[in-house]
Structure 1
Amino acid sequence: MTVPAAIAACSVSKSFGGVRALTKASFAADSGSVHALVGENGAGKSTLIKILGGRIAPDEGEVLADPALRIGIVFQELTLLPYMRVADNLLLGREPRSHLGLIDRAAMPGLAERSLAELGITHIDPRALAADISLAERQIVEIARVILASPGILLLDEPTSALVEREVAWLFARIRALRAAGTAIVFTSHRWAEIAAIADRITIFRNGSDVGSFDSIDETEAITLMTGRRLEALFPARPPAPDGAPALELAGARAAGTAQLDLALHPGEILGVGGLAGHGHRALFFGLFGAPGFIEGALRVAGKPRRIRTPRDAIRAGIALVPEDRKSEGLFLPLKVRDNLTLPILRRLSRLGAIDLGAERRIASDTIARLAIRTPSAAQPVGALSGGNQQKVLLGRWLLTKARILLLYDVTRGVDVATKHEIYELVVRLAREGYAILFYSSDAEELAHLCRRVLVMRRGAIVADLPAEQLSAEAIVSAAMREAADAA
């Protein structure tokens, strides 16, 4: 292979225990270009990024890089220190010093604020703890920290997974500026529109190997190469219109972060929730799950008033929540797949204080098969699975509780296109089986194709209720933006 101007992987292989992550994978990225790595979860992209960035070593093969170029890397898993300020995280290793050589902590917030402003970021408080800002804001700080170090090679692993459209537009403006300045950028994303918009060259991975590099390729052909099969349609047909009494109702209900809300969710319905990020969606979902609960108003489950003040109350009422950040809010990453699946039903599996291990193994195996969770065994640590399969584990856990009301909060975030298709099919199947599903997504296309009705939120209030005949991604975005314009 000809040594590129910036960075290349040459026949790189890597295994973790019995799992083969990469098998003789190769690609090359030039300076002044954006090279996208595309593939399903578990195809080896993140492992290759870590090898390129020097975080882990390959078992075979080599990485060739221009020694004059500094490498910056934004990992898929955020690395901010949660109980340090944004300024501390942003300037880590580059802190201003006093004349005595000590870190000038008083000067850090001002310097951080100016540094963020240079990148067009004015809405993040550098004095705030990283733990107290939103997931999207943490992602932006992570990206900004790396860009401010002026790398000649920039590795971006799923940098847009927590970002909404305007934040993606900000990132792409920075990427284009870096490309124009001669930076080599390696970029991964599961959103094909992003790949098409920003990539100069695309390398597709399947099962740990590169299966082709292209200057241009359409989405259908790319999916076929990624998966080894052709997906006839990304979105399944919507379930039929629901009938009967609501499974869940809110009347004049208000949580911290919302206005008074009224809604009705029926068995067999996928009710969408959309709108601009940060306008009460999370407060609605977490309020329904009692984390914390609603402050005022009425909540009824199957027609009966319920007081839901804690997640325990919600689980007892048959309500389950799948949050956006599965790694910090949903799963116990070091524990086995089996342990994560059966955690909420251990009482049901116990006899005289001892867990029936045989029953636990059978239930876990059945759930893995039902949801097509790709794992070597139920004993595999869940943290070793791909993002899409981790999400299936979290869904499977709540299905085992026999919850009939599912609160799905951005469940396809950071999930590849083929696994998204599997999750869409699962969600539609559950609706057909009578589950009542409240479905938030930052992707308006998902809402438009999966839901028969979408509630658009603005400033904590429901400002539009779009029925099936009016549903489109454009209509959802328009409703959110129109309300934003009216409020300005």
Structure 2
Amino acid sequence: MDLVVATGLSKRYGGIVALSEAEFSARTGEVHALLGENGAGKSTFIQILSGAVRHDGGSILVDGQDFRPANPDAAQARGIAAVFQELSLIPDLSVEQNIWFRREPRTLIGTVDRTALRRKTLDLLQKYDFPALRPDHELRRLTLAERQIVEIAKGLAKEPRVLILDEATSALPAREAEWLLNLTRRLAAEGRLVIFISHRMAEVRAIADRLTIFRNGRTVAAHEAGAVSDGEIVTQMIGRNLDRLYPERVPTATDRIALRVRDFSSGRLNGVSFSLREGEVLGVGGLQGHGQRELFQALFGAAKASGGIELWGKPASINNPRAALTGRDGIALVPEDRRGQGLLLTKSVRENLTLAVIKRFTDKGFLSARKEEALVKEMVDFLRIKTQTPEQLAGTLSGGNQQKVIFGKMLLTEARVLLLFDPTRGVDVGTKGEIFQLMRDLAAKGYAILFHSSDMPELVHVADRVMVMRNGRIAATLEGERISEEGILGAAMLEGEAA
């Protein structure tokens, strides 16, 4: 019997149609994949189902009874909880306080029972075999992957019958992602319904029983997972044939060194040295947590490290991000956490695009709105950012379009050394293809690109060379036929140095 049935579901935000007559049904005891491009309506649907927003038309039945929750608490009372890609945690609270926020055990006089809180947290983490977490650690001290695990724990603490996982693996290292996929199957075997959203087809294939595909706010198909090919799924998601995800890798690197790093060291970095050439896409791989994040942050001036940097043959002192953004000879970053580090969500697309380069539109303290408008329109058109108007708030865009805004902001700085940290995390297959093509086009124009991805096939198919990091060092640099998933994994795990 279907546990959740949505019929004719519709939702509008002003003139924007987020859902239009969408259909969905899912059964107890299954993993049901919900697929579609960014902006297809998936997020709106799960927000409605979890009580975050209310639908305008149509109906939802849960256990055959009408379901129209006024808020997330009402949805949770009916057994539905969501783990959103965009985290809902409080940085100043501890892990255990976030997990049980507004549901903490209390003493007889109404204060938080800290002993019971710790016991409940440890019991929860043990029950679901969570990766190591310290209940007393302050959230702001955790990595993005660790915060994602806390978000998952928060959802499971509600013991839901229906658990929605929205891109929950996108921030996780391989081992933790595998743990979550195994847990998802376990939850379904226990008789729960798991609605699973992912842009990684291998994950969908590994665990999904059935799948539903949204496009442009409508349901376009529903299948048993084994009854449809990957190519058919992608075609139904994007409404066209995707000839190739990865562009042809035409060598564009010159002999000119754009970035030279000598003996970079910090808490996680241990004597990192390398060169990045003009026109090159240099990949950075390895198991997560081996210094990749610290390397990118240090190069952008967002973290301290000793050692030397040369940009375009000249020594550079980059102590903060402002020092990195010095025009054509500078460095720009697409960060790991687009909402937390890359965007001002309550500001417009226009403001996000131009904030870092506002001086280009000012003369004696006066802003030239005409110049700003022209450049914003050019960037929106160039990157095909789907926005109703440049004044639309960045926080209302889909994840893929938010990522495009960050790319646009980066390109407007005119920096020619680009640091791309997991730039396709949580974006759909169509937008991934656009980002990969953009990277190759920029390399052909003489940009130098340092590119980290947690998805090894992306490094294999996009990068000209791949540096593999292990224990804060460059364990190997792979070129030509040596660039493979086996080569990257082997260098990341095996002892010994390779040049």
Q: TM-score range by the shorter chain?
A: over 0.9
Could you tell me how far 1:464 is from its partner in structure 2?
1.2
Partner of residue 424, structure 2: 412
* Structure 2 Cα separation of the partners of residues 306 and 92 of structure 1: 46
Partner of residue 71, structure 1: 80
* Structure 2 Cα separation of the partners of residues 436 and 81 of structure 1: 37
Residues 352-371 of structure 1 aligned to structure 2 (within 5 Å): 352-371=364-383
> What's the secondary structure of 2:270's corresponding residue?
coil
Partner of residue 335, structure 2: 323
Partner of residue 38, structure 1: 35
Could you tell me how far 1:91 is from its partner in structure 2?
2.2
The answer to whether structure 1 residue 159 and structure 2 residue 168 are counterparts is yes
* Structure 2 Cα separation of the partners of residues 348 and 323 of structure 1: 23
Moved more, 252-261 or 88-97: 88-97
* Structure 2 Cα separation of the partners of residues 358 and 418 of structure 1: 32
Identity %: 47
Could you tell me how far 1:100 is from its partner in structure 2?
4.2
Residues 216-255 of structure 1 aligned to structure 2 (within 5 Å): 216-255=227-266
The answer to whether structure 1 residue 304 and structure 2 residue 314 are counterparts is yes
Could you tell me how far 1:479 is from its partner in structure 2?
1.8
Report Cα offsets for 1:350-377 as digits up to 9, x if no partner. 0121110011000000011111111112
Question: What amino acid is the match of 2:320?
Answer: T
Report Cα offsets for 1:139-165 as digits up to 9, x if no partner. 111112212322111111111121122
* Structure 1 Cα separation of the partners of residues 318 and 266 of structure 2: 12
Partner of residue 69, structure 2: none
Contact 1:29 1:185 in 2 (8 A): no
The answer to whether structure 1 residue 22 and structure 2 residue 19 are counterparts is yes
Q: 2:279 aligns with which of 268, 287, 308?
A: 268
Could you tell me how far 1:106 is from its partner in structure 2?
4.2
The answer to whether structure 1 residue 279 and structure 2 residue 290 are counterparts is yes
The answer to whether structure 1 residue 54 and structure 2 residue 66 are counterparts is no
Report Cα offsets for 1:329-357 as digits up to 9, x if no partner. 01111111111111111111101211100
Partner of residue 184, structure 1: 193
Q: 1:34 to 1:122 in 2, by over 3 A?
A: closer
- 5+ residue gaps, structure 2: 66-76
Partner of residue 323, structure 2: 313
* Structure 2 Cα separation of the partners of residues 370 and 255 of structure 1: 38
* Structure 1 Cα separation of the partners of residues 354 and 154 of structure 2: 39
The answer to whether structure 1 residue 170 and structure 2 residue 179 are counterparts is yes
Residues 114-133 of structure 1 aligned to structure 2 (within 5 Å): 114-133=123-142
* Structure 1 Cα separation of the partners of residues 299 and 197 of structure 2: 34
Contact 1:453 1:466 in 2 (8 A): yes
Q: TM-score, normalised by structure 1?
A: 0.95
Aligned residues: 481
Report Cα offsets for 1:412-444 as digits up to 9, x if no partner. 000001100011110111011110000000000
Could you tell me how far 1:239 is from its partner in structure 2?
3.2
Could you tell me how far 1:468 is from its partner in structure 2?
2.1
Report Cα offsets for 1:162-192 as digits up to 9, x if no partner. 1122111111111111111110111111111
Question: What amino acid is the match of 2:470?
Answer: R
Question: What amino acid is the match of 1:64?
Answer: L
Contact 1:340 1:397 in 2 (8 A): yes
Report Cα offsets for 1:267-307 as digits up to 9, x if no partner. 1000000111111111100100011242x222111111111
Q: 1:227 to 1:5 in 2, by over 3 A?
A: closer
Contact 1:451 1:468 in 2 (8 A): no
The answer to whether structure 1 residue 441 and structure 2 residue 450 are counterparts is no
Report Cα offsets for 1:381-431 as digits up to 9, x if no partner. 111111111111111111111100000000100000110001111011101
Contact 1:80 1:142 in 2 (8 A): yes
* Structure 2 Cα separation of the partners of residues 418 and 225 of structure 1: 12
* Structure 2 Cα separation of the partners of residues 326 and 483 of structure 1: 34
Question: What amino acid is the match of 2:251?
Answer: P
Partner of residue 11, structure 1: 8
* Structure 1 Cα separation of the partners of residues 27 and 15 of structure 2: 34
Partner of residue 479, structure 1: 491
Moved more, 95-104 or 409-418: 95-104
Contact 2:213 2:221 in 1 (8 A): yes
Contact 1:241 1:452 in 2 (8 A): no
Partner of residue 214, structure 2: 205
* Structure 1 Cα separation of the partners of residues 85 and 20 of structure 2: 21
Q: 1:384 to 1:122 in 2, by over 3 A?
A: closer
Could you tell me how far 1:99 is from its partner in structure 2?
4.7
* Structure 1 Cα separation of the partners of residues 303 and 157 of structure 2: 37
Contact 1:69 1:153 in 2 (8 A): no
Q: 1:11 to 1:118 in 2, by over 3 A?
A: same
Partner of residue 88, structure 1: 97
Partner of residue 432, structure 1: 444
Q: TM-score, normalised by structure 2?
A: 0.93
> What's the secondary structure of 1:6's corresponding residue?
strand
Contact 1:387 1:415 in 2 (8 A): yes
Aligned CA RMSD, in angstroms, stands at 1.6
Contact 1:51 1:58 in 2 (8 A): yes
